[in-house]
Structure 1
Amino acid sequence: MDTEALRSFVRAAELGQVRQAADELGVTQQAVSKRIAALERELEVRLFTRTPRGVELTLDGQAFLPHARDVVAGVDRALTAVRPGSRALRIDVLGLRSAQAVVLHDYWRSRPGTDLDVVTLRVNDPAVAVAAVRSGEVDASFRTPTDPAALPDDVRMIHAFDSPLELLVGPRHPLAAARRVTPARLRGHRIWVPGIAPGSEWAEFYDQLAAAFGLRVDAAGPNFGDEVLLDTLAESADVATLVGARDRYLWPAHHDLRRIPVAGPTLAYPLSLLLPRADPHPGLRDLVTHLESLPGLPGEVWRPSWATRAAQGAGEAGALRA
């Protein structure tokens, strides 16, 4: 079915005038009349009757109008979806309570007119994120492949921001009363991070963290979700975990969990942004500028070795803004 004929029918029905519809659509009155006549032939019904004041819908026209509107609206949405200058900026984050989502929310609040679509890919795998960026499923992704050299030529990675870690413990934990702790003070304590996928960026991060400071990182057991983790911390006198300082966690008041900053050095998880090299969404320029404006972490900071390789892509951000 000719969607332009549907559009002509809808505007003529809404305005009650074929001439006005033609003026709005930027075509001649004759063109609109021909489109509507062709539509009536295809449907084998009369959609309008002519009156001295213009046109009025027949009963068939009244029945057809809401469906025609839906089709025209769907076509408009489809066209918008493939026009980078007009569709929403679609960004993948690890979770809607993650540091990436918090930073994106701050960005949106500073630019409330921004059309932003925040999504989470179903599989927590940087390779899946790379494929999503390449296919256009998302415009960018906050994922960090630990080997930037293995990225395909049409995808680049820039440093987004560093996420400092905090110790999260229950009220019975030996460190619960501490106002801050050093990494050295965590030695001997069980740091439970369940569900770390082998070969993932998180696995390499915690492997390097444990080796650098002699920590006991326990990845035993499947990840049953934040609620189970928080319940376990509240009940335990020896289990702790590490969380991002910007990550949002909610727990019942009686859990009385404590978030304790880690410093001397600060433990930083470097977050990166994957984006296409060619024809990036125009909205990415402002987002990258916002990320660059975020303050750095003060004092001594520990980062994994692959953070240096990831940060090398940050120099390419200037090309994106140009």
Structure 2
Amino acid sequence: MRHHFGDFLDRDGSYWTIAPNRERFAYCLDDVPEGSFDATIATIGKDDKNWSRVLTFPNLVELTLHEPTSGQLAAIASLPSIRRLRVTHARPQCIDFISSMGALEEVVLEYVSGFNDLSPLRALGSLRALHVENLRRVSDFSGLAGATALKYLAIYGTLDWQQPIDDFEFLRGLPQLEVFALWQIKCRAAYPALLPAVTLSRLKKLRVHRSYLATEEYALLEEALGGVDGANWGPYANVARSQIELPSTDIRAQLSDEVIRAEHPEVTLCYDGRRQIGDPASRWFEFTGRAAGSAKCSSPTAEARCREKSQRYDRMRRQAKVLIARERSGE
């Protein structure tokens, strides 16, 4: 699956200032002269014959390397003033080049598949935001532990490939983390793999779909991270699997987009101005947990299944409470 140039960065807050993905080619070098004082953002790749001009831009703060050569990756190590870096579609054997770029605050690695060691990122004392997507040879994320300034971390797979994560022990080494997002991942560790999340005392937002982890892990996170935005899955969710147009007679059709975004998350605002809501006929109960199953809301057995799942989830939360207390007491 080729990269779609979608912008997956959660831009709430001040974590990200890097240009959206789709705008990368607006910053190609073209006729930008060598030594330009006006060039602050640039995109280079394997097809740029004059790419080395970026090494002469005194005010460059943001760089995208799209399908870069090994020579381009090695050369950017001489740009210690860069604060924002995106690398897409590359196969370096290691990312040691990044360790000398001490001013980096934001890093995006997408489809960078040749290396398996993230530890050079520890050297980035100012790194506050990291998004990694489709790192084909990485499953051990322990190299991130020690990135003590990191406030935002997103680990993404893709629709056709789930990013493996050996364990979550690295979370213990991220004391400043405020946003943690996982998408299309699979955890290789047994329960309680997410127990290290108990140490994330500054966490504000958690983004993990209810289908990635064992059900017990969600119960543990919900018990440990009460009050954190996104840590409230419950035993199941009532979801619509298809959409219909919002009827013009519905009061929500008269509300502004701002009000809809703030107060009516059940309404989808389409790019062409249409508004959609879930089709009542397509509603299912989706149970929390990997391979936990689902039940159509209209099924005669749905109520009993939801009750059984709720009782089981409550037992899991009680079990998790004991583990969390032991973790916090240092036993």
Q: Shorter-normalised TM-score: what interval?
A: under 0.3
Q: How high is the TM-score relative to the length of structure 2? A: 0.24
More helix by share: 1
